[in-house]
Structure 1
Amino acid sequence: MRVVKEFTKADIRISIYNWNNKFLIKFEQGPLEQTFKVSEMDILVEDDLDRFCEGDFFDKVMIRFKEMGQSLQIQMQNL
């Protein structure tokens, strides 16, 4: 697995890997993680990967983290 890029944006750690003819785009916030797999064939140049870290897609990643955090908190209270 090759690390393409790693950085932080809006308190979310973003790691992009190249592995097995796919790009793995991993978003991490605290104990939560979202990973998306995209075929190399769908990305013409590696700079196109930056579009996954901006705009509507990234906004939805942040919303999903909020929902995931709320679900985890509720589940932990119900143990």
Structure 2
Amino acid sequence: MRYIKDLPGSEYKIGLYQWNNKYIIKIESGMYEQTYKIDDYEIQSQEEIEACMDEAFLAAVTDRFNAMHNDFSDSLRRNNILF
């Protein structure tokens, strides 16, 4: 996987990579990570990917991170790992 660059302007670490004819967008927040892939022939330029990191998308990313945290915490409690 080839690192291209970090995408600025967010509370998250957003990295852009390229691998196997796909762009990979990796969004990290603490111990959680979301990954999105798009075929490189679907877009004209990397700037189009950056434009997709808009307020509505990042709000959905935040909701998903919160859900991931809740799901994992619930599982830890359910299995008597976290009290």
| 1:71 alignment counterpart | 71
* Residue 6 (structure 1) shift: 1.5
1:52–1:58 Cα contact (<8 Å) kept: no
Shift of 1:45: 0.8
Instruction: Name 1:45's counterpart in structure 2.
Output: 45
TM-score by structure 2 length? 0.83
SS in 1 for 2:44: coil
Distance 1:17 1:52 in 2: 15
Deviation at 1:55, TM superposition (A): 2.5
Tell me, in whole angstroms, the C-alpha distance in 1 between the residues paired with 2:62 and 2:52.
12
Aligned equivalents of 2:3 and 2:55: distance in 1? 23
Give, in whole Å, the separation in 1 of the partners of 2:7 and 2:55.
17
Q: TM-score, normalised by structure 1?
A: 0.87
Q: What amino acid is aligned across from residue 20 of structure 2 in structure 1?
A: N
Which secondary structure does the structure 1 equivalent of 2:28 belong to?
strand
Q: Distance in 1 between matches of 2:76 and 2:51?
A: 34
Q: Unaligned 5+ residue runs, structure 2? A: none
Give identity over the alignment, percent: 29
- Give structure 1 stretches of 5+ with no counterpart: none
Aligned residues: 78
**What is the Cα-based RMSD across aligned positions, in Å?**
1.4
